[in-house]
Amino acid sequence: MSMIRLLAKSKHRVVLASATAAPCMYSRYVSRSYRVSKPATDFDTWSTQISEIAKNEHVDLILPLSEEVLYLALLQKRISSLPPIFCDDFDTLRSLHHKYLFTGLAREMGLLVPETHLLNNREELIECFETRTFDDVVMKPVYSRFAAHTILQPRTVNELQDVNPTSLRPWVLQEFVAGRIFCAYAVAHEGRLTCLATYPADHTLGRVGPTFAYRQEPHPSVETWVSTLIKNLRYTGQIGIDFVINSQGEAVAIECNPRDTGGSRLVQDDPRYLNIYFNEHEPMLTPRGGITYLYKRAAIGQLLRRRSAKGGKRALLNLLQTSTPVISCDWTDPMPFLMRNIIMRRPTSNLFKRRQQRDTVDDFTWSQDTAI
C-alpha cells in the first residue's frame, strides 16, 4: 500500500491487475483495478489480459509486486510491445529463483553457498542421501515459498517417504549450515545498487518459515555478498536473498527470491523510497536503524499457539509493545485496512499453517517450468 499511495501522491496513475481479491484494490489511490486469470494455471489467458490492460490503459511501467515477476518476464520475452517491466530478463530470474541453479551461479562467482545436489527422481534422492559427504541436510523443492515442504535435518531416508522429485518438479538436497539466519533486500539498476537492507530473521513462523519482524542490522559479509552478485549479473530489479551466518561469521547464501520481499518494509517510510525504483543514479538507500516493523497479527498468532516461539515469548511481548505495525489503518484511505479481514476470512489461530501460507499465493507462484 505504501508504494501505491506514494505513486498516486506523486501524480502517477495507478492501475492494478490481480487474480484474486486484494485489499489494495479498494484504495482511493487506485485509478482502476482488474481481476485477471491465474498465470500459474492459465498463462495464455493471463498473458492476453495483461497485454490488453497495458495497451488500453497506456501503461508506462509495470512494477511487479511478487512472484508474478517471472510470468511478466516470460511474457516480455515473448511480446516485445509490452511497456518496460522493472525486472531482469526471464532467464536470469529463473536461474536465481531455482535453488540449484542459484547455488551454481553464485559458486562460479566465488561466493559462499552450501553444497547442493539436484534430485529428479526417487532413486537419485536415495543415492544422494546415502552417499553424501556431510552430516546434516536440508530437503526442499527447487521452487517454493514460505519454506513450504522444507525438511530440516532428516536422520534417515525413511523420513523422506513423501518426497518424490520429478524432472518437472525437482528437489534439492542441501548441506545444512548452522548459524543465525540473515536476509537482504535490494534494488538495483544494471548492477548498481540503489537500496540495500539487511536484517536478521530472529522471529519466524515456525523453525524455517517467513519472517514477521523486520529490523535493520548491518552485516558486512552479507553486504559484500549481495553487492558482488548484483555487480556481476548487472542485475536490474528487486531481489531478496536468505543467508546463514556460519561459525566464522561468513554469509552463506541458501536461496534467492528475485522479487519484492518483506524487507522492502524497512525503506517504505523513507522520503527517497520511490527514487530507488525510478532513478538509476539514486545514491544507495540504507534503512534507518532502531525501528522494528512487525506483523502484529503474526506475533499474536505465535503467542496463541502456546508454543515456545523462536526468540521467546517474552521477546514477542516486548515486540508487540515497542514495534511499528507493518499493517495499520490510514484514515485518509481506510478501505484497504477494513477490507483486509473480510477478504482473508481466517481466524488468527489458524493463519500460519503452511497450507494456508501457500494458498495466499497459489495464483502466481512459480512452482514448475510448464509455462516456458
Residue 24's domain comprises 2-88
Q: Is residue 143 part of a domain?
A: yes
d(CA 83, CA 63): 11
Q: Per-residue b/e over 194-222, b at no fewer than 16 CB within 10 Å?
A: bbbbbbbbbbbbbebbbbbbbbbeebebb
Residues 12 and 71 in one domain: yes
Tens digit of pLDDT at every position of the chain (372 positions): 888 999 999 999 999 999 888 889 999 999 999 999 999 889 999 999 999 999 999 999 999 988 899 999 999 999 988 999 999 999 999 999 999 999 999 999 999 999 999 999 999 999 999 999 888 999 999 998 877 789 999 999 999 999 999 999 999 999 999 999 999 999 999 999 999 999 999 988 877 788 999 999 999 999 999 999 999 999 999 999 999 999 999 999 999 999 999 999 999 999 999 999 999 999 999 998 889 999 888 888 888 775 554 557 788 888 888 889 888 888 899 898 888 878 776 544 344 444 444 444 556 688 877 777
Report the CATH number at residue 148: 3.30.1490
14, 79: one domain: yes
d(CA 324, CA 69): 29
- How many residues in total does the chain contain? 372
Residue holding cell 515486540?
A: 319
Taking the C-alpha atoms of residue 211 and residue 185, their distance in angstroms, rounded to an integer, is: 13
- Residues 36 and 79 placed together within one structural domain of the fold: yes
User: What CATH number does the domain containing 13 carry?
Assistant: 3.40.50.720
140 and 84 housed in the same domain: no
How many domains would you assign to the chain? 2
Instruction: Please state, in angstroms and rounded to a whole number, the distance separating the CA atoms of residues 132 and 287.
Output: 41
Question: Which residues in 59-96 are b (16+ Cβ under 10 Å) and which e?
Answer: beebbbbbbbbbbbbbbbeeeeebeebbbbebebbbbb
- Residue 171 domain-assigned? yes
Whether residue 142 is contained in a domain is answered as yes
Of 175, 208, 243, the residue at which a domain comes to its end is: 175
Closest CA to 211 of 262, 161, 256: 262
- Domain end residue (candidates: 175, 191, 211): 175
Residue 69: which H helix or E strand, with range? Answer: helix 68-78
